[in-house]
Chains A and B, each alone.
Chain A
Amino acid sequence: DIVMTQAPLSVSVTPGESASISCRSSKSLLHSNGITYVYWYLQKPGKSPQLLIYRMSNLASGVPDRFSGSGSETDFTLKISRVEAEDVGIYYCGQLLENPYTFGAGTKLELK
Chain B
Amino acid sequence: QVQLQQSGAELVKPGSSVKISCKASGYTFTSYDMHWIKQQPGNGLEWIGWIYPGNGNTKYNQKFNGKATLTADKSSSTAYMQLSSLTSEDSAVYFCARSKLFAYWGQGTLVTVPS
Which of A16-24, A64-72, A75-83, A103-111 forms contacts with chain B?
Answer: A103-111
- The residue that A51 contacts in the complex, of B61, B62, B95, B103, with Cβ under 8 A, is B103
Binary interface profile of B, 96-108, with partner A (CB < 8 Å = 1, else 0)?
Answer: 0100111101111
Q: Answer yes or no: B44 CB below 8 A from chain A CBs.
A: yes
Q: How many A-B residue pairs have CB under 8 A?
A: 47
**Chain B residues in 8 Å Cβ range of A61:** 103
**Size of chain B's interface in residues, with CB distance under 8 A?**
19
A contact residues, range: 20 to 34
Q: Would you give the shortest CB distance from B93 to chain A, in whole angstroms? A: 9
Can you give 22 contacting A-B residue pairs, CB < 8 Å?
A: A41-B45, A41-B102, A48-B106, A48-B107, A48-B108, A49-B102, A54-B101, A54-B103, A60-B101, A60-B103, A92-B44, A92-B45, A94-B45, A96-B100, A96-B102, A99-B59, A100-B47, A100-B63, A103-B44, A103-B45, A103-B46, A106-B44
B residues whose Cβ falls under 8 Å from a Cβ of A: 35, 44-47, 59, 61-63, 95, 97, 100-103, 105-108
